[in-house]
Amino acid sequence: MFAPEKDVQSYIHFGLYALQHRGQESAGISISDGSDIKTKKKMGLVSEVFQGDTLENLSGYNAIGHVRYSTEGDSSVTNAQPLTITCKLGKISIVHNGNLKNAKGLRKRLEEEGTIFQTTTDSEILAHLLAKSSYNNIIDGLKEVASMMKGGYTFLLMTTDRLIAFRDAHGFRPLSLGKVDGGYVLSSETCAFDTIGAEYVRDISPGEMVVIDKQGITSTTLLEPKDPSLCIFEYIYFARPDSNLIGKNVHLVRKELGKELAKESNITADIVSGVPDSSLSAASGVAEALNLPYEMGLIKNRYIGRTFIKPNQEMRELGVQVKLNPVNATVFGKRIILVDDSIVRGTTITNIIKTLRDAGAKEVHILISSPPVKFPCYYGIDTSSCGELIASKLNVEEIRTEIGADSLQFLSIQGMVRAVERVPGLNENTGYCLACFNGEYPVTEED
């Protein structure tokens, strides 16, 4: 956020709360009063990292913040963001959402040239590329090096007196621009604007760079835009339902996914339930389309957080067990249609079906509001090998047996795209990345 007349500390702090669902491992803030950048970051949730006196001495009119979901490099405080460096371009602080497809190659080349990395993240690569660029100003430096990075990335950079933002040429990860109290704010999701009372202005386009300073805001093309490929999994699972991505409300998209799924299914039951939180919108769409009662079959312990984005399988399994409990009175003796938004590793659904059966459910029919996830993601979701994806090893019937469901149905790829396109947005021509469902990768190593 950049607001010359304000201390932006609390805006960034509360904005990060709104984005907590995007990363739960570490949180951090860099802030500048125009003369120096101060950075505070630690492992933990926003509420754990910024408490007591941690926010003291953090004041200024220019700031960036980050919540980390690790996709490259281990989950450690060394890898926490923002990453603040000092180089020939001055002091720069960097935050990154996404994942560089060519991170390993770039790191190897830089290391061979003598670069000493402080972290094991892909995000640090930009810092070194910039420091080694042939220019002495950050904007020209970025123009020179940005195209060396392939994959999915949204970056925010701050110097003491400037805020810079850009998205990769395909626009895998979202970024929106807002206005508040005489300043500008940028966020991966619009839900943070609502939290801090900011007004939504527009989304940043794929390949676009915006620079904000005391003179105002300027926009340039940093990278020639390529086929727009917004991550469709943002709509399915990752983003918060109250956010709008390219103007499409996430809750409404999920509801349409549920309606489309209901159309493709021929199951009937006594009640429809969702798996809290992320599938509740889709479940309400299924119930509405099938004209069946929508019931609370499971309750989520709100202190556990998301399990899919935890950094290892042991933590994910423990998390699921503690997180979801059946509402016995609702499920006992019932034929249930249970809707979830996705089956990725299969950790969640296997556990829940058992829980529902133990609670006396008569039949458990599973409807999934996305197609089977068969292919790894290299652009910012932490599923980088086929081996961990249940649908890359087993067909639908084998998955049904493995998870112990009475029936199992996934949404078709065409149904998913139809549902997303049906919801009005800002740019109807935007395309989506579907690679984890269809194996067609918008960016490969050779690009």
Provide the token pair at 159. Answer: 């110097």
Chosen residue from 156, 345, 367, 409 binding ligand PRP by CB under 6 A: 345
| Cα distance between residue 366 and residue 283, in whole Å | 11
How many residues form the binding site for Mg ion (CB under 5 A)?
1
Tell the burial category of 433 from Cβ atoms under 10 Å away from its Cβ (0-12, 13-18, 19+): buried
Minimum distance from CB of 43 to ligand GLN (Å)?
A: 13
Site string for Mg ion, 237-276 (x = CB under 5 A): ----------------------------------------
Q: Which does 97 bind (CB under 5 to 8 A by kind): ligand GLN, Mg ion, ligand SF4, none?
A: ligand GLN
Number of residues this chain uses to bind ligand SF4 (CB under 6 A): 12
To ligand PRP, the closest distance from the beta carbon of 281 in angstroms equals 11
Partner whose binding site includes residue 96, from ligand GLN, ligand SF4, Mg ion, none (CB under 5 to 8 Å by kind): ligand GLN
411 binds ligand SF4 (CB under 6 A): no
Nearer to ligand GLN, 96 or 365 (CB): 96
Minimum distance from CB of 389 to ligand PRP (Å)? 9
- Least Å distance, CB 304 to ligand GLN, is 19
> How, if at all, do strands 230-231 and 432-433 pair?
parallel
Helices (H), 216-323: 232-233, 250-264, 280-290, 313-323
**The token pair that represents 99 in the structure block:** 């994942």
Of 9, 32, 39, 71, the one binding ligand GLN (CB under 6 A) is 71
By CB under 6 A, name the one of 93, 273, 278, 355 that touches ligand PRP. 278
Q: What is the DSSP letter of 297?
A: -
Residue 436 in contact with ligand SF4, rule: CB under 6 A: yes
Residue 231 binding result from ligand SF4, ligand GLN, ligand PRP, none, given CB thresholds of 5 to 8 Å by partner type = ligand SF4
Distance CA 12, CA 14 (A): 6
Residue 370 as a binder of Mg ion (CB under 5 A): the answer is: no
DSSP, res 234:
I
Closest C-alpha among 121, 155, 120, 122 to residue 141: 155
Is position 25 an interface residue for ligand PRP (rule: CB under 6 A)?
Answer: no
- Determine the Cα angle at 80 with ends 31 and 167, to 5°: 70
Residue 69 is a binding residue for ligand GLN (CB under 6 A):
yes
Residues of span 368-407 touching ligand SF4 by CB under 6 A: 377, 379, 381
Smallest distance, Å, CB 131 to ligand SF4?
29
122 binds ligand GLN (CB under 6 A): yes
* Upstream peptide bond of 277 is cis (omega within 30 degrees of 0): yes
Output the smallest distance, CB 275 to ligand PRP, in A: 5
Question: What are the strands of the beta sheet with 335-340, ordered from one edge?
Answer: 271-274, 335-340, 363-368, 407-410
By CB under 6 A, residue 376 contacts ligand GLN: no
Q: Cα separation of 43 and 24, whole Å?
A: 9
Name residue 225's amino acid: P
Shortest separation between residue 111's beta carbon and ligand PRP, angstroms: 33
Using CB under 6 A, which of the segments 34-42, 97-105, 338-346, 349-357 binds ligand GLN? 97-105
What letter represents residue 335's amino acid?
Answer: R
Please tell me the distance from the alpha carbon of residue 248 to that of residue 423, in angstroms, as a whole number.
6
278 binds, among ligand SF4, Mg ion, ligand GLN, none (CB under 5 to 8 A by kind): Mg ion
How far, in Å, CA of 138 to CA of 131, rounded? 9
CA 202, 305, 437: angle at the middle one, nearest 5? 60
- Which DSSP state fits 19? T
Question: In the 8-state DSSP scheme, what is residue 381?
Answer: S
Site for ligand SF4, rule CB under 6 A: 152, 172, 231-233, 377, 379, 381, 433-436
Rule CB under 5 A: which residues touch Mg ion?
278
Which stretches of the chain bind ligand GLN, using CB under 6 A? 23, 68-73, 79, 96-99, 121-123, 380
